[in-house]
Amino acid sequence: MATWRLPRTPLLLRAAPRLLPAPLRRSGSGPAPPRLPGSLVRSGGFVGGRWVQAAAAFPVLDPASGAELGQVADCGVAEARAAVRAAWEAGPGWSAAPAKERSALLRKWYSLMMENKDDLAKIITAENGKPLKEAQGEILYSASFLEWFAEEARRIYGDIIPPSVKDRRLLVLKQPVGVAAIITPWNFPSAMITRKVGAALAAGCTVVVKPAEDTPLSALALAELANQAGIPAGVYNVVPCSQKQTPAVGEALCTDPLVAKISFTGSTATGKVLLHHAAGTVKRVSMELGGHAPFIVFDSADVDRAVLGALASKYRNSGQTCVCTNRFLVQKGIHDAFVEKFAKAIERELRVGNGFDEGTTQGPLINEKAVGKVERHISDAVSQGASIVTGGKRHSFGKNFFEPTLLSNVTTNMLCTQEETFGPLAPVIKFDTEAEAVAIANSANVGLAGYFYSQDPAQIWRVAEQLEVGMVGVNEGIVSSVECPFGGVKQSGLGREGSKYGIDEYLEIKYVCFGGL
């Protein structure tokens, strides 16, 4: 395979004095943080194939203990623009490389992720808090997108259209859009990057990644492995920044004329702000935004199976996923049995604790603000007549820990049924008819995922088609898969990620009319 490198872009950044920056720095006192794998932990941004420092740094905290994991470069607008420039200059060479070369490099990156999967999982648990077993699962899921899109890179097909006149040939080409700005959340700090970046690089695009301020270490570890894999300088860039810098950096990425594409996963409110910024230069945009997933259990359902699905759908990552169930709708004929079995399963199966402790299934919430929102939703519901079946308060393990909670006697007037909780709270609404359940499920202005349990084939077809969501789980509480399109409808976003459709978000269609033949 041929090797090539573009000339490095002059950067208005302070480069680290060594090829690799010093290990993550700590400042101040307090609880000792978990030990992190030094071979993958980086403190600088990654721009144009170089590790760089910014004028300031910001702390990364362990949400379980509050301990500082270290300080990371606080990149600003200047660093973001330098990263865009580096990506733009690397673009012609990367897009011109044979698809087989891009495929091979993505496959090498995938292999390095698999070789380092345990260390990558430890980084996730340290900065995000999720149980180590879940973090290990995320790394496998994350790596699978590099593997998938390494294969899809060689399947970007054009088309030939039969002409209406004999002296012409009509062709359709697919070409990379250009530089893609990738803005990712903290709840899946590795997988949300590779799901986007894998598709972008396979298509021939170059990228600038702006990771969440709570979890930049995973993005920087991926940069280290990309560098080891031989991904050319400027193709994969990372600009970590603090919460204070995030609005300005986000605006810079969305308004820079060299950026052709924005891909964002996060809240609907933030997505609207980024859409507004991107509109000025009419950029291609794909967004995976907020969810408010319904989980419907009909009288015909297998209740025991529904309970298992409910546990998986609601309490994964302590309820902090965009496809987590937010509203349980249970038909009156089996309502009491479901609530009783669900409560027993919660108490039997779920264990709150530090993500590094064996047996933990529920780690901390990302920060105290997240805990406060769960408390507010419970307080509002109880004040309007809801009953706490189990849980309902902060856990003694620490300030960011909350008991897995189940509420009954819930109505649609309560906050927990009107907005996404993003925490370990399961509110149960009793309903009478199928039509009523579907109406409640579709009443939200978002529509990412939806779930329902039924053993009636006719009902399954009706409800699956009627639910206003982008993804439906039928008798299944987990739907994410690298082979399947991920995305929503309404205000849950634009476009799809993963699957054979995901690469299309990074391609332009060009029509060529070849005349005079």
Give the residue numbers annotated as catalytic, written as ranges.
288, 322
CA–CA separation, 11 vs 222, rounded Å?
21
What does the alpha-carbon distance between residue 228 and residue 235 come to, in Å, rounded to a whole number?
13
Q: Write out 214-242 in H/E/C secondary structure.
A: CCHHHHHHHHHHHHHHCCCCCCEEECCCC
112, containing H or E segment = helix 99-115
Q: State the maximum Cα–Cα separation within the chain, in Å, rounded to a whole number.
A: 79
Instruction: Count H helices and E strands in the chain, helices first.
Output: 13, 23
Among residues 422, 426, 362, the alpha carbon closest in space to that of 398 is found at 362
In contact, 206 and 91? CB cutoff 8 Å: yes
Give the Cα separation of 85 and 108 in Å (integer).
26
Rounded to whole angstroms, the Cα distance separating 181 from 317 reads 26
Q: Which residues of 350-385 are buried (b: 16+ CB within 10 A; e: fewer)?
A: bebbbbbeeebbbbbbbbeebbebbbebbeebeeee
How far is the C-alpha of 48 from the C-alpha of 51, rounded, in Å? 8
Q: Which two tokens stand for residue 224?
A: 């280290």
Q: 3-state secondary structure string, 274-329? A: HHHHHHCCCCEEEEECCCCEEEEECCCCCHHHHHHHHHHHHHHHHHCCCCCEEEEE
Angle of the 268-279 helix axis to the 246-255 helix axis, nearest 10: 40
* Crossing angle between the packed helical segments 99-115 and 191-203, to the nearest 10 degrees: 160
Rounded Cα–Cα distance for residues 451 and 310 (Å) = 9
- DSSP codes joined into one string, 383-399: HTT-EEEE--SB-TT-T
Tokens of 138: 């995320």
